[in-house]
Every structure is written in structure tokens, then in C-alpha cells.
Amino acid sequence: MASRSYGKPPPKVQRFARAIVIAWIAIASLPIAVSAAERSIKIVALGDSLTAGYQLPASAAFPAQLEQALKAKGIAVEIANAGVSGDTSSGGLARLDWSVPQGTDAVILALGANDMLRGIEPKVTRAALTEIVSRLKARRIEVLLCGMLAPPNLGPDYARGFSTIYPELATKHGLVFYPFLLNGVAANAALNQRDGIHPTAAGVAAMVAGILPKAEELLARVRAKPAS
């Protein structure tokens, strides 16, 4: 009678075992999709001096204060400051790809104030903002659009043409929308620097308090997305 042992298995069994091991190694090496609910959400604040924090320390700028306000609520978030003083909507479009890197979950879009101050044709601003939004949406990046209002001294036609850009763009593309970034801050001497245009640290804090619910709405949209 042939003896039995626990020696080497038959060649066919060995080949099958090796195939199983190779398959498991391949599966283990695949990147694991992590949902936004399980990690820190990455946001880019794309704007001008109101975002950059003109004449303020970095810790007092709008992105830093908003990040701290969200973290105080227990929300894991990182907000990059992509504000450039003096930038227009067309300037933001020109630097969009390097200002908003791969891995960005959402963008707070706050451009247009300098377009208005320079009297740039509203159709130019509208076209640039529309292109920015379209390109971000194509990358599956959620957008919080911050509106800007033109003062009456620019004339009713300009004010109408400029101020309607933001709500119409938000409605068309289904964006989270905050109608006026400087709500409660504009024309308030106590919250603005001596130039009467740029907010103080306290003014930025007021901006953050106003926009905070919309920022939370933006984050909720990011978290609701399936992992990719």
C-alpha cells in the first residue's frame, strides 16, 4: 500500500496556489477609496484681496478664519488660500489649473470685486466666471459661489448687469450660493481698514460668521458624494 505524507502537493495544485497568491497581492496593491466622511476635506478659496487677507497676518485671512470656525464645529477641513490681491475674474480663470490642484474637493469662488471696481464689462466677468464654474464642475469639484454687488454710483445699468451675474450663474449650475461676501461688513467703518474697502480681522470674522452655514452646506455636498 502506498504511503501517505504531507509533502509537496501535485504541480497542478502548486500552480493554482501561486495564482491565488498573485491575485491577492494585486488586489492588496489597489488604492483604497476613502470617502470624504472619513478624511479631511480639501477646499481652495479662489479670490482676490478679500480672500488673500490684504494687510492682515495669514492667520487672520478669510480662509484661515473659516477653517478654524469649521474645525471648532468638529469638521475636518483644510482650506488653501488662493487669493491674489488685485485679481479679476479673468485672472482667476488664467491661473485656475495651478490654483486648484488635483485632490481638491470644493472651491469657494470669490472673484469679481476688482472687475466691478475697474468698470469691466459685466459680460466679460460673466464669461470668465461661467468658464471657471464649468471647468470645476467637469472635475467634479463642488462650488460655493460668493456674490458681489455693484454700488449705485456705477449707474443702474451697470449695477443690474453686474449684480445679476451671481444668482443667475448659481441657479443655472446648481451651486451653493452666498449672495454677498461682504454682507454686514461693506460700508461699516468699524469693520474696515482705513481704505474703507478691505476688512480688518474683525471684519473677516464677521464675513466668516455670515458665510458659515453655506460653507457647511458645501461640505455636506462633498460628503454626500460616493468615493471615487
Instruction: Assign 3-class secondary structure to 60-98.
Output: HCHHHHHHHHHHCCCCCEEEEEEECCCCCHHHHHHCHHH
Q: Which helix (H) or strand (E) holds 40?
A: none
Q: For residue 128, is it within any domain?
A: yes
Q: For residue 132, what are the contacts with CB-CB under 8 A and spacing of at least 6? A: 46, 89, 92, 93, 96, 109, 111
CA distances from 5 to 2, 8, 9, 11, 95 (A): 10, 9, 10, 16, 71
Q: For residue 30, is it within any domain?
A: no
Burial class (CB in 10 A: 0-12, 13-18, 19+), 11: exposed
Cell matching residue 7: 509533502
Model pLDDT, residue 107 = 98
Model pLDDT, residue 35 = 53
Model pLDDT, residue 227 = 73
Side chain identity at residue 66, one-letter code: L
Model pLDDT, residue 27 = 46
Q: For residue 58, is it within any domain?
A: yes
CB neighbour burial string for 71-89, b if at least 16 within 10 angstroms, e if fewer: eeeeeebebbbbbbeebbb
What is the CATH classification number for the domain harbouring 95?
3.40.50.1110
Q: For residue 95, is it within any domain?
A: yes
Question: Based on the structure, what is the number of domains in the chain?
Answer: 1
Model pLDDT, residue 2 = 46
User: Which residue in 108, 115, 107, 63 sits closest to 89, CA to CA?
Assistant: 115
User: Which residue in 135, 162, 167 sits closest to 150, CA to CA?
Assistant: 162
Q: For residue 23, is it within any domain?
A: no
Model pLDDT, residue 22 = 55
Model pLDDT, residue 7 = 47
Q: For residue 187, is it within any domain?
A: yes
Q: For residue 60, is it within any domain?
A: yes
Q: For residue 72, is it within any domain?
A: yes
Q: So which residues are the catalytic ones?
A: 49, 195, 198
E strands, the chain, are: 41-47, 77-83, 106-110, 142-146, 176-178
Q: How many CA atoms lie within 13 A of 36 on its CB side?
A: 22
Model pLDDT, residue 126 = 98
- Spell out the per-residue pLDDT of the chain, length 228, in tens: 444 443 445 665 456 546 544 554 454 454 444 555 568 999 999 999 999 999 999 999 999 999 999 999 999 999 999 999 999 999 999 999 999 999 999 999 999 999 999 999 999 999 999 999 999 999 999 999 999 999 889 999 999 999 999 999 999 999 999 999 999 999 999 999 999 999 999 999 999 999 999 999 999 999 998 876
Name the β-bridge partners of 192: 199
Place of cell 488586489: 27
Residue 87's domain spans which residues? 40-224
Q: Are 217 and 176 in contact (CB under 8 A)?
A: yes
